[in-house]
């Protein structure tokens, strides 16, 4: 029979390899891990579904019972239950309570913004309120999923406000700023602690997702008059990452480094009117450099969509398209062979 964890801990204590207080802490941690890992994933999914349904049914009951019909009570109701959702998530760690607080938070935000819209008669007022509330909840609501979704909601509210300005320049500048903000979040010093250590990952993922979603309009055929403005910001962020990787590898002044930097600048110039491709490459490079599979995966998905759109938009015959694919594949294989022939780089690009 294999020894239990308790026997292993007691043996380490008796041999003087483990302090008694450490033994107690390890036992408690192992017990928590065992309990958390013992819950099957499908049970957690059912619990989460039940919590979301319960929250939505509660909000539906409030409206059907005509508890709130006027803008004032709706704003008060949304604010109160938003505060309850935050308090519930900060005090209770049970799975049902966690999911219920998430659903209750977003339902309360919807009621709050609806009340603001009815009281003011302007959708911009509701969007501005949603933007402010989402930014505040990123810090106040201690949940990674909620912080990620709040980042997306804040980006969506900002996009709505910019759309009402009817200025393509403002929208493209905002996309560039969000891309640079995503880069700043991921490149922030690791030593920063406190609330920043908890917010950084979901905020970074949310900002990258917002940049990618904003550039999906290229794929659906929406014409962008000032696309070059967002391309500048995204290209600058991508070039910074390329230099960062080359510097970590000690290749900035090498032939490969100069070639990589020049190729990045040339690619940015050639794709200035298609920032969706630049955004996809930026996400892929950022995910690789920061060892973030989710960011890399989002970039790969958008890049595949961009290539598909570009391929089907080419006014070429199937034979000519096949030739383009063959030549592209051959160039990529030659580039791979060239890179593999270089001396091995120092491992470890980013912490």
Residues 150 and 172 grouped into a single domain: no
Closest CA to 111 of 53, 50, 56: 56
- Answer yes or no: are the C-beta atoms of 108 and 81 closer than 8 Å: yes
Residues 126 and 273 grouped into a single domain: no
pLDDT above 90 (res 133): yes
- The more confident residue out of 286 and 96 is 286
Q: Domain end: 124, 155, 186, which one?
A: 155
Residues 194 and 298 grouped into a single domain: yes
Which of the four pLDDT bands, split at 50, 70 and 90, describes residue 343?
Answer: low
Residues 102 and 26 grouped into a single domain: no
Residues 105 and 253 grouped into a single domain: no
- Answer yes or no: are the C-beta atoms of 168 and 226 closer than 8 Å: yes
Mean pLDDT comparison of 36-40, 221-225, 261-265, highest-scoring range: 261-265
Where is 17: in which H helix or E strand? Answer: none
Question: Residue 30: which domain range?
Answer: 1-38
Residues 216 and 175 grouped into a single domain: yes
pLDDT, tens digit (0-9, with 9 covering 90-100), for 283-314: 998 998 888 888 999 999 988 888 887 777 66
d(CA 122, CA 185): 33
Residues 23 and 59 grouped into a single domain: no
Residues 145 and 178 grouped into a single domain: no
What separation in angstroms does the CA of 205 have from each of 88, 276, 292, 327, 349? 25, 17, 9, 35, 19
- Answer yes or no: are the C-beta atoms of 287 and 211 closer than 8 Å: no
Q: What are phi and psi of 314, to 5 degrees?
A: -65, 130
Residues 272 and 187 grouped into a single domain: yes
In a domain, 132, yes or no: yes
Q: What is the CA radius of gyration of the chain?
A: 25
Q: Domain end: 92, 124, 155, which one?
A: 155
pLDDT above 60 (res 344): no
Residues 203 and 275 grouped into a single domain: yes
In a domain, 335, yes or no: no
Q: What is the pTM of this model?
A: 0.75
Residues 80 and 135 grouped into a single domain: yes
Look up residue 218 and give its DSSP letter. Answer: G
d(CA 63, CA 65): 5
Residues 80 and 104 grouped into a single domain: yes
For 168, counting Cβ atoms within 10 Å of its Cβ (0-12 exposed, 13-18 middle, 19+ buried), the class is middle
- Answer yes or no: are the C-beta atoms of 188 and 239 closer than 8 Å: no
pLDDT at res. 18: 55
Residues in the chain: 351
């Amino acid at each position: 029979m294999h020894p239990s964890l308790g026997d292993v801990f007691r043996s380490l204590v008796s041999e003087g390899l483990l302090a008694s207080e450490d033994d107690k802490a390890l036992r408690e941690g192992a017990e928590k891990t065992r309990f958390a890992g013992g819950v099957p994933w499908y049970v957690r999914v059912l619990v989460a579904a039940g919590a979301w349904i319960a929250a939505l049914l509660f909000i539906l009951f409030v409206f059907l019972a005509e508890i709130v019909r006027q803008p004032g009570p709706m704003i008060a109701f949304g604010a109160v239950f938003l505060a309850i959702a935050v308090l519930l998530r900060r005090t209770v760690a049970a799975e049902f309570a966690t999911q219920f607080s998430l659903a209750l938070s977003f339902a309360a935000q919807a009621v709050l913004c609806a009340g603001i819209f009815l009281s003011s008669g302007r959708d911009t007022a509701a969007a501005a309120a949603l933007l402010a509330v989402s930014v505040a909840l990123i810090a106040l609501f201690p949940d990674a999923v909620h912080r990620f979704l709040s980042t997306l909601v804040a980006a969506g509210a900002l996009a709505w406000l910019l759309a009402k300005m009817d200025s393509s320049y403002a929208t493209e500048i905002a996309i560039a700023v969000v891309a640079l903000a995503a880069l700043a979040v991921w490149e922030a010093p690791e030593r920063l602690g406190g609330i920043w250590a908890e917010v950084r990952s979901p905020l970074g993922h949310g900002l990258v997702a917002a940049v990618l979603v904003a550039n999906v309009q290229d794929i659906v055929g929406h014409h962008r008059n000032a696309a070059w403005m967002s391309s500048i910001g995204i290209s600058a962020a991508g070039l910074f990452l390329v230099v960062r990787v080359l510097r970590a590898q000690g290749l900035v002044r090498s032939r490969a480094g100069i070639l990589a930097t020049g190729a990045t600048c040339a690619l940015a110039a050639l794709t200035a009117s298609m920032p969706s491709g630049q955004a996809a490459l930026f996400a892929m490079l950022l995910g690789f450099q920061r060892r973030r599979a989710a960011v890399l995966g989002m970039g790969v998905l958008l890049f595949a969509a961009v290539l598909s759109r570009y391929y089907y938009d080419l006014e070429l015959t199937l034979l000519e398209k096949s030739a383009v694919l063959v030549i592209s594949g051959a160039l990529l294989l030659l580039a791979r062979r060239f890179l593999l022939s270089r001396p091995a780089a120092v491992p470890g690009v980013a912490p």
